[in-house]
């Protein structure tokens, strides 16, 4: 049975409503449970690969434990820099920098492949999340820029400039990884751009030129025609391919509270177009334990 037949057998195409031409689809008439049949999980995974991010309304039956159990149907849990935890809470009462474009934990060598996000406390107005398709962004690059991107590597770090205030308040963890700017997707074979707010600079490129190259490539990733914006309701669930997207929460809800909870699934070490693997340069966990790159 082909992947398309599998999807159609368990999730009718009439229940898959595209949000935009390039990215995003709302999946209707399904309840997410950890005990869904294997074929249904495979169908959902296929839709994630096809649309990059998919959305489910009216999933208020999920609690933290069931969200975790459901997410684990897609693979092993991905540890966070703060330590292994089943559910990571993003609460607007804590400033964690979710309102900047990023790939979840791209500072790690094998950063998460899938993220499952649930809306818990949603503002009456504002608080949307925007995703971008990094595969179509790569295809939009003129050929000379594709060739440049193919050759570039970037240093992704935690806490880095964007996250330092938050990170130093709660942990002594430091992580640095060299990733190719273009990775080959292990399931689809697509070339996707690997950038976002964890990037400190490009290997072998000055800070001045790195900033300009970063802005150039990011402008293609975040172009409006390459994005989808989701207006949350309580109980919504979003599932995305963290290897082929970037995302950003909008901080436009004033003093209202916004709480979403996320589970992530362990990914693979990225591979460049010429077959080289990402390299963990440094990892320091906690305040007393240091891991070498080979142990990280």
Q: Is 52 domain-assigned? A: no
Read off the CATH number of the domain in which 206 is found: 3.60.130.10
Contact between 7 and 41 (Cβ < 8 Å): no
Task: Tell whether 89 is covered by a domain.
Answer: yes
Which pLDDT score, from 0 to 100, does residue 289 have?
Answer: 44
> What pLDDT is recorded for position 130?
98
pTM of the model: 0.92
Which residues are catalytically annotated? 102, 104, 247, 262
For residue 48, is it within any domain?
no
How many other β-carbons are positioned within 10 Å of the β-carbon of residue 288? 7
Helix boundaries (H) for 129-206? 134-140, 143-151, 160-170
In tens digits, the chain (296 residues) has pLDDT values of 666 766 778 899 999 999 999 999 999 999 999 999 999 999 999 999 999 999 999 999 999 999 999 999 999 999 776 555 679 999 998 866 678 999 999 999 999 999 999 999 999 999 999 999 999 999 999 999 999 999 999 999 987 766 655 555 445 678 999 999 999 999 999 999 999 999 999 999 999 999 999 999 999 999 999 999 999 999 999 999 999 999 999 999 999 999 999 999 999 999 999 999 999 987 665 544 443 333 32
71 three-class SS = helix
Task: Report yes or no on 47 lying in a domain.
Answer: no
C-alpha 137: how far from chain center: 15
The count of structural domains within the chain is 1
Predicted confidence at residue 294, as pLDDT, reads 32
Query: 198: domain range?
Result: 77-287
Selection from 40, 64, 112, 146 nearest residue 265 by Cα: 112
């Amino acid at each position: 049975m082909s992947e398309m037949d599998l999807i159609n057998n368990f999730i009718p195409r009439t229940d898959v409503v595209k949000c935009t031409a390039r990215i995003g689809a709302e999946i209707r008439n399904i309840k997410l449970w950890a005990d869904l049949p294997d074929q249904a999980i495979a169908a959902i995974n296929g839709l994630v690969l096809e649309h990059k991010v998919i959305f489910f309304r009216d999933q208020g039956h999920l609690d933290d434990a069931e969200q975790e159990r459901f997410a684990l149907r897609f693979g092993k849990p991905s540890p966070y820099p703060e330590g292994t935890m089943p559910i990571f809470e993003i609460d607007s009462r804590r400033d964690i920098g979710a309102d900047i474009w990023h790939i979840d934990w791209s500072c790690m060598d094998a950063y998460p492949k899938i993220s499952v996000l649930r809306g818990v406390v949603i503002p009456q107005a504002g608080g949307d999340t925007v995703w971008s398709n990094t595969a179509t962004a790569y295809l939009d690059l003129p050929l000379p820029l594709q060739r440049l991107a193919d050759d570039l590597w970037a240093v992704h770090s935690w806490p880095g400039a964007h996250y330092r205030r938050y990170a130093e308040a709660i942990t002594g963890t430091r992580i640095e990884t060299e990733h190719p700017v273009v990775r080959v997707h292990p399931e689809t074979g697509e070339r996707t751009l690997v950038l976002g707010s964890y990037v400190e600079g490009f290997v072998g490129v000055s800070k001045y030129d790195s900033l300009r190259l970063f802005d150039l490539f990011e402008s293609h990733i975040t172009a409006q025609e390459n994005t989808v914006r989701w207006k949350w309701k309580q109980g919504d669930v979003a599932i995305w391919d963290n290897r082929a997207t970037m995302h950003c929460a909008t901080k436009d809800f004033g003093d209202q509270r916004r709480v979403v909870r996320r589970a992530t699934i362990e990914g693979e070490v990225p591979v460049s177009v010429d077959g080289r693997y990402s390299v963990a340069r440094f990892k320091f966990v906690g305040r007393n334990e240091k891991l070498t790159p080979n142990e990280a």
